[in-house]
């Protein structure tokens, strides 16, 4: 008996060790102690930064690197050139495809647009010396010894006089200064809403060193990656300014000094970025929504409806939080701030800068704290793991909120009410309700000549159209498609297991797939290779119907190059129906039954088969309709051949 108990104990311990080993990836660690002052007359920053950097890798580091993002906001920077070059590609909005690539903008006609980011365009080229962004480290020393610095526009190279050995720490002291740029992209002063300062990417930020080496991506307006650590940030500026940002405010009752400035101290732990915003007319709302978590809203009133709209942000966030945590994982930080600022919506640790109070953007940016700031995938390499997953969650949460709480809000305007009713009417004819928009955008991309694999580096997509459609829409469609392959309920469990397994460990694409395989018991390597590393598409069509012996023989043709399991709904004239499920051989398994339809499971089909055939339980004369993928979760690029109505 003791031997049996011992064996069970060993098995349990080995299982636990195996689970932990999957996510046992080393992480660098950093502590920032930053003191900065903002001159609101010259829009300049001066600061000191103490960095304690833990090299937890097995590598000896001869150099370290820092991001200097604001240097991108200078004429002829890489960001400026990149934006203007992309603007030379002309897209036809109606068709979602390019019609030409030419520098002659006279060719742009009605319905066409340039492919540049509308927020950037050629604005950087026209900045004056007092409007540009500047970041400069005047000195970086270690143990009193100045280190050699080499500037590469938005990357600062530090050639160390003494290498950082594996599993050791080093303290670096920096003196830096900066000029806040006119707001162009995310960061800057005086945005279109009149917010004085949107302070993102404002400090010399350590470049992440991971199992793939240094991630020294020059800044061209795309994505971010960072080292987890602890931030202690003190910000000095005139006393009439209200400041909101990352971390917990340690001194809410700070007094002004002799010069009329106040110094605000924020602390945040286990985060990889820090943002703040300041305005002399900010309004501040806050609520402790549960013990240990307070939500904040900072906004600048422009009209009478602003108070209600921003109050609704706080109300909706509180109502949605329990659903979010149940569906996607527990929020681990003590506060979150929704701050008006920036150029649309951009996520940061414990905070977001958003241009307006639209709840879709609110939910999307908030979900980045799960997928970008807790899980922390490398957005340059896997933007779809952040943007796509956040887009999927945005639709899911928005749909849930509108069905359960939207009409209870005391701040709901008549205009917003009409919009929700219109959305609900629209989703009645568009399935799946929470994914139709993302599916549609992906299908437009897939049908264009512009699609590139999801494995493309964020900065190196040929067009903004291809990048945004892939990262956001194809990434979101992936989770809907995954629900089709393994079942929605199992997919939802995968998302929780993924979050709990890989939080604070920078997961990659394969890490997610491995969690999905372990949770579902289904082999999914084929899904990763086709969906992420190729642009092959799915297209199945009804091919032939034959009469069998008291059955109908249904033939389906695989027209696309990407295979998938099949669900085919047969509806009979007597009102009965049956769902025929045909697994794909590459899965080596099938999913559990979903829904209430009577299901018939057929033998798996070989992915190389051009035609798949199965039989119904009733004769051909009894058929009313045949439909491939009745749940609309299969991203089939041509649904016109998916359904057949048989006349009486």
Residue-level pLDDT at 451: 96
pLDDT higher than threshold 80 for residue 111: no
For the stretch 496-505, pLDDT in tens is 999 999 999 9
Q: Give the mean pLDDT of 107-118.
A: 76
What secondary structure letter does DSSP report for 606? -
Topology match between the domains 29-70+133-381 and 540-645: yes
Residue 569 has pLDDT above 80, yes or no: yes
Q: What pLDDT was estimated at residue 605? A: 98
Condensed to tens digits (0 to 9), the pLDDT of residues 138-165 reads 999 999 999 999 999 999 999 999 999 9
pLDDT at 238: 98
> What residue spans of 300-413 are helical by DSSP H?
306-328, 359-371, 383, 389-404
Mean pLDDT across 480-495: 97
- 368-394 pLDDT, tens digit each: 999 999 999 999 999 999 999 999 999
Q: Is it the case that residue 420 has pLDDT exceeding 90?
A: no
Q: What angle do CA 104, 109, 110 make, to 5 degrees?
A: 160
Q: Do you know the residue count of the chain?
A: 648
Q: How confident is the model at residue 424 (pLDDT cuts 50, 70, 90)?
A: confident
CA 260 to chain centre: 41
Task: Give the residue-averaged pLDDT of 417-446.
Answer: 74
Query: At the topology level of CATH, where does 540-645 sit?
Result: Immunoglobulin-like (2.60.40)
Question: What count of other Cβ atoms lies within 10 Å of the Cβ of residue 269?
Answer: 16
Say what the pTM is: 0.93
For the packed helices 509-520 and 475-486, what is the interaxial angle rounded to 10 degrees? 20
What pLDDT score was predicted for residue 445?
A: 94
Among candidate residues 317, 319, 357, the one with its CA nearest the CA of residue 340: 357
CATH class held by domain 29-70+133-381? mainly beta
pLDDT at 108: 55
Binned at pLDDT 50, 70 and 90, residue 435 comes out as low
CA distance 303 to 333: 33
pLDDT reported for residue 430: 52
φ/ψ of 574, rounded to 5, equals -85, 5
Quote the strand ranges of 19-133, DSSP E: 29-39, 44-55, 61-67, 89-92, 97-101, 112-114
Residue range 53-84, pLDDT digits in tens: 999 999 999 999 999 999 999 999 999 999 99
Interval 450-466: pLDDT, tens: 999 999 999 999 999 99
Residue 54: HSE in the Cβ half-sphere, 13 Å Cα cutoff = 13
Mean predicted lDDT score pLDDT of the chain: 92
Would you give the DSSP letter of residue 223? -
Within 8 A by CB and 6+ apart from 89, the residues are 98, 101, 114, 115, 462, 463
pLDDT band at 521 (very low <50, low <70, confident <90, very high): very high
With cut-offs at 50, 70 and 90, classify the pLDDT of residue 622. very high
Flag the least confident range among 1-5, 96-100, 221-225, 622-626: 1-5
Using pLDDT thresholds of 50, 70 and 90, give the confidence band for residue 106: low
Q: Could you give the C-alpha distances from 239 to 70, 178, 190, 213, 276, in angstroms and in order?
A: 26, 21, 19, 43, 16
32 bridge partner residues: 51, 231
- Kindly indicate the confidence band of residue 8, based on its pLDDT and cuts at 50, 70 and 90: very low
Per residue in 83-101, pLDDT (tens digit) is 999 999 998 755 545 544 4
**The pLDDT of residue 93:** 52
- Map out the domains of the chain as residue ranges: 29-70+133-381, 75-91+105-126, 419-533, 540-645
Distance (Å, whole) CA 88 – CA 98: 11
**290-339 pLDDT, tens per residue?**
999 999 999 998 777 789 999 999 999 999 999 999 999 999 999 999 99
Mean pLDDT, residues 257-262: 97
The two beta strands, 276-279 and 261-271, are unpaired
User: What is the pLDDT at residue 13?
Assistant: 42
Phi, psi (rounded to 5 degrees) for 207: -70, 140
Cα–Cα distance for residue pair 208/213, rounded to 1 Å:
8
User: Which percentage of the chain shows pLDDT scores above 70?
Assistant: 92
pLDDT digits (tens, 9 = 90+) for 10-56: 334 434 433 344 467 899 999 999 999 999 999 999 999 999 999 99
pLDDT at residue 635 is higher than 80: yes
């Amino acid at each position: 008996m003791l031997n049996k108990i011992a064996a069970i104990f060993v098995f349990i311990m080995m299982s636990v060790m195996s689970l932990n080993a999957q996510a046992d990836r080393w992480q660098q660690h950093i502590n920032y102690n930053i003191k900065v002052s903002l001159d609101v007359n010259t829009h300049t920053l001066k600061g000191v930064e103490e960095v304690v950097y833990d090299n937890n890798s097995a590598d000896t580091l001869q150099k370290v690197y820092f991001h200097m993002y604001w240097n991108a906001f200078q004429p002829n920077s890489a960001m400026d050139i990149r934006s203007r070059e992309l603007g030379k590609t002309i897209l036809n909005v109606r068709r979602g495809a390019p019609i030409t690539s030419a520098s002659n903008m006279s060719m742009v006609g009605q319905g066409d647009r340039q492919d540049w980011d509308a927020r950037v365009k050629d604005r950087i080229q026209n900045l004056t010396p007092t409007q540009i962004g500047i970041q400069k480290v005047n000195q970086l020393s270690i143990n009193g010894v100045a280190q050699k610095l080499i500037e590469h526009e938005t990357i600062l190279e530090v050639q160390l006089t003494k290498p950082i050995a594996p599993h050791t720490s080093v303290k670096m002291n920096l003196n830096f200064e900066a000029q806040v740029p006119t707001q162009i992209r995310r960061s800057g002063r005086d945005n279109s809403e009149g917010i004085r300062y949107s302070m993102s990417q404002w400090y010399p930020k350590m470049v992440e060193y991971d199992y793939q080496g240094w991630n020294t991506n020059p800044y061209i307006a795309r994505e971010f990656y960072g080292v987890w650590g602890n931030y202690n940030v003190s910000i000095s500026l005139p006393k009439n300014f209200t400041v909101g940002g990352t971390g917990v405010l340690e001194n809410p009752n700070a007094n002004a000094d002799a010069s009329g400035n106040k110094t605000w101290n924020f602390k945040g732990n286990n985060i990889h970025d820090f943002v703040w915003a300041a305005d002399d007319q900010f309004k501040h709302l806050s609520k402790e929504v549960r013990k240990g978590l307070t939500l904040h809203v900072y906004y600048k009133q422009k009209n009478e409806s602003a108070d209600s709209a921003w109050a609704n942000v706080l109300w909706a966030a509180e109502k949605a939080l329990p659903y979010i945590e149940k569906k996607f994982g527990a929020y681990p930080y003590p506060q979150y701030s929704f701050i008006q600022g920036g150029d649309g919506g951009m996520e940061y640790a414990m905070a977001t800068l958003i241009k307006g109070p639209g709840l879709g953007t609110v939910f999307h940016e908030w979900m980045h704290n799960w997928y970008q700031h807790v899980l922390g995938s490398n957005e340059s390499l896997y933007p779809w793991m952040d943007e796509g997953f956040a887009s999927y969650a945005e639709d899911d949460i928005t749909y849930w909120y509108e069905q359960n709480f939207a009409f209870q809000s005391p701040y709901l305007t008549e205009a917003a009410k009409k919009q929700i009713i219109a959305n609900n009417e629209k989703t009645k004819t568009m399935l799946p309700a929470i994914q139709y928009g993302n599916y549609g955008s992906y299908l437009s991309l897939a049908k264009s000549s512009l699609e590139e694999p999801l494995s493309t580096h964020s900065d190196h997509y040929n067009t903004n159209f291809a990048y945004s459609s892939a990262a956001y829409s194809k990434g979101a469609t992936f989770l809907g498609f995954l629900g089709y392959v393994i079942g929605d309920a199992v997919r939802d469990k995968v998302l929780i297991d993924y979050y709990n397994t890989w939080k604070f460990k920078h997961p990659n694409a394969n890490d997610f797939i491995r969690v999905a395989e372990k949770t579902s018991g289904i082999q999914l390597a084929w899904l990763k290779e086709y969906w992420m590393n190729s642009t092959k598409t799915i297209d199945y069509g009804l091919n032939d119907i034959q009469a069998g012996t008291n059955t109908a023989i249904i033939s389906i043709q695989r027209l696309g190059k990407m295979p998938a399991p099949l669900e085919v709904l047969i509806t009979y004239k007597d009102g009965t129906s049956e769902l025929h499920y045909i697994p794909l051989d590459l899965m080596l398994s099938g999913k559990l039954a979903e829904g209430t339809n009577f299901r018939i499971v057929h033998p798996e089909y070989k992915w190389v088969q051009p035609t798949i055939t199965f039989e119904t339980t009733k004769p051909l004369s009894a058929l009313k309709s045949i439909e491939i993928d009745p749940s609309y979760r299969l991203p089939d690029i041509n649904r016109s051949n998916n359904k057949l109505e048989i006349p009486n």
